[in-house]
Chains A and B, each alone.
Chain A
């Protein structure tokens, strides 16, 4: 599985868009980009995934660069409840499904 690099922490004002970057320069063609988040004292929660096209769901948008070496998770209108650690994970479809978590980005949404 490709390694990912994320900033350790970020702040965002409540109501503004939160843009969380992830670098995965060694990603291979059959690997997907997944985002999970972990709110304090809870288990991780799936957010979104993508291969090469941009994706959007009710929680977030995922923008993947054309060369697929980096991506950005966008929370369009951050709320205090979005304060969490966000993990960017790269894994391939034929994998057993095990997730390799890095350190993630701690997002602090401030009022």
Chain B
């Protein structure tokens, strides 16, 4: 079946611009996660949705980052006034239930964001 998809696969933008990154989770998965991965590092948690609500946004680095999931399926990560330090691969994952056992999260291929 279809896995988690993310669009675009690559995004190049200029410093100060606004970007949106999209995640299509696996159908029926109620939990959705965003992570950010810098070169040579492990993924870093950003935000978690249970259904439509952001249940844990403790990983968002600052108020330039915002994410929505209005219908409990597709999610969009929004970054305002991008900075060069925002350059990274942004990963989305979904799971059937949050915190369930097993906590098997299915990851998308990521969006590589480059801020010039």
Contact = CB atoms under 8 A, between A and B. Distances in A.
Contacts, number: 74
B21 interface: no
Query: Looking at chain B's contact residues, is the secondary structure mostly helix, strand, loop, or mixed?
Result: loop
A34 B103 contact: yes
B13 to A, nearest CB: 21
B99 A103 contact: no
B26 interface: no
Interface residues of B, number: 31
Contacts of B99: 93-97
Contact of A49 (B33, B59, B101, B110): B101
Given A43-B110, A103-B41, A97 B95 contact: yes
Contacts of A42: 107, 109
Interface centre among A85, A101, A104 (most CB of B within 10 A): A101
Interface residues of A, number: 24
Contacts of B107: 42-45
**Interface residues of chain A: helix, strand, loop or mixed (majority):** loop
Most buried by A among B102, B103, B109: B103
Given A96-B48, A96-B55, A99-B45, A43 B103 contact: no
Contact of B103 (A32, A85, A102, A103): A32
